[in-house]
Amino acid sequence: MSLPPLVAPAGDLSMDEVRRYSRHLIIPDVGMDGQKRLKNARVLCVGAGGLGSPALMYLAAAGVGTLGIIEFDVVDESNLQRQIIHGHSDVGRSKAESARESVTEINPFVQVNLHTERLDSSNAMELFAQYDLIVDGTDNFATRYLVNDACVLLGKPYVWGSIYRFDGQASVFWAENGPCYRCLYPDPPPPGMVPSCAEGGVLGVLCASIGSIQVTEAIKLITGVGDSLLGRLMVYDAREMDYRQVTIRKDPNCVACGDTPTVTELIDYELFCGVTPDSAADAVQDFTISVHDLKAMLDERAAGSRDFVLVDVREPVEWSIVAIDGSEFIPKGQFLTGEAFEKLPQDKQVVLYCRSGGRSAEALVAAKGAGFDAIHVGGGINAWVSEFEPDKPTY
C-alpha cells in the first residue's frame, strides 16, 4: 500500500551529512527531500536483541535523526550468535548502553535516547507518544499485544517482525490506514504452545534478514517511498530460501481497531496471554525444589538411602549439549500426549528438569494429573551448572 510521507523534512543537511548520505541522495525516490525526512524522524526500537541489533544499526546508518531504545536486559554470551550490535567485551553490560555506543560509532549525527525500564502498560503510552513510529524487536506475545494496542490508541505505525529457527515474518500494522496486529492474531496461542528462541533456537543470520526488512519498511513509511507491507504479511523460510506473501485485511470485528473496539486502554498483557498457566503456577508453588535440594537428593540416592527417577524434559538437541548425570530423557511433548507415563515407574518419585524451569512445570502438571508423585527443579539445568558444574556449558 502506497502512503504519504510520515515525517516532514528537516530544514537542511550539513556538508558532512551530504557526504555521508550521498548514496541515498542520488536515488531519485529518496533524494534530498527523503534524507531530510529521515533526519527529522523519531523512531523507537523496542528491544536491542536479535531483531533490534540490525534494525538499530541500519536505522542509524540510514540517518534517522532520533533513535529511542527500550531495553532493560544485559548482554549474555549466548546473545552474541545473533545480536551483532554487541561484542564479546559487552558481556554483562547493559544492552541499552552497548547499543548506544555502537549506534554512535556508526553515525554520530544520530541522537540516541535510552529507556532502560521494562516496557509495560504503565509507561508504554508516554514512551510511544514521543516517536513517529515503533519498530518491534521483541520475542514474546505479551509485549507484541502491548505494543500493538498502544500504537492503535496513539495512531502510530507499528513495524513488526518475528523469528524462530529458520522461519521469519514481517509486516506493518497501522490501524488508521489498515489492519493491526490483532486483525492477524486476534488471540494469543495457548501458553507453552510456541517455544521461545531460548527454547527452540534461531538461525543467527535470520535476525539480519527480518531486521533489514523492518528497517526498509520504516524508511519507506518515513519518506513515502514505494508500497509498504501494510495489509501484507511477508513470510520467509531461510532453509528453503522461499519468500511468500499473505494478504491481511482489516477485521471490522477487531477488538482494538474494529468498528466497535473494546480495547480502549492498555490491559495486563501477561494475564491476557497466560504467560504462566494457572495449573502450572499452582504446581510450581507447591512442588518446586532448588538445585541445592536436588544435589542433596542425588547424594542420598548415591548412598542408597533414597530412590527416585530424574527426568530431563528438554528436546534431543538440548540433551546433547549438556545434561545432569544420572538423569533420563523424556521430552515434554511426551508428557502432554501421555506417552511418557508408560516409561515412568509408579512406585518412585519423579523429579523433572528442563533448561530453566518453564517446561518442567508444564510436564509436572501433566504428571500429577496422571497420578504420579512428581516435583520439578526451579532454575533447571542452567542453575545446576552455575552452582555445581561450572565447567559444563549453559545456553
Nearest CA to 376 among 279, 317, 311? 311
DSSP annotation string for 173-197: E-TTTS--HHHH-SSPPPTTSS--H
Whole-number Å distance between alpha carbons of 156 and 158: 6
- Inter-axis angle of helices 278-286 and 358-369, nearest 10: 90
CB 131 within 8 A of CB 68: yes
Catalytic site includes residue 151: no
Catalytic residue among 151, 197, 207, 257: 197
Beta bridge partners of 134: 44, 158
Whole-number Å distance between alpha carbons of 394 and 280: 24
Three-class secondary structure of residue 360 per DSSP: helix
Whole-number Å distance between alpha carbons of 378 and 363: 13
**Which residues are designated catalytic?**
197, 354
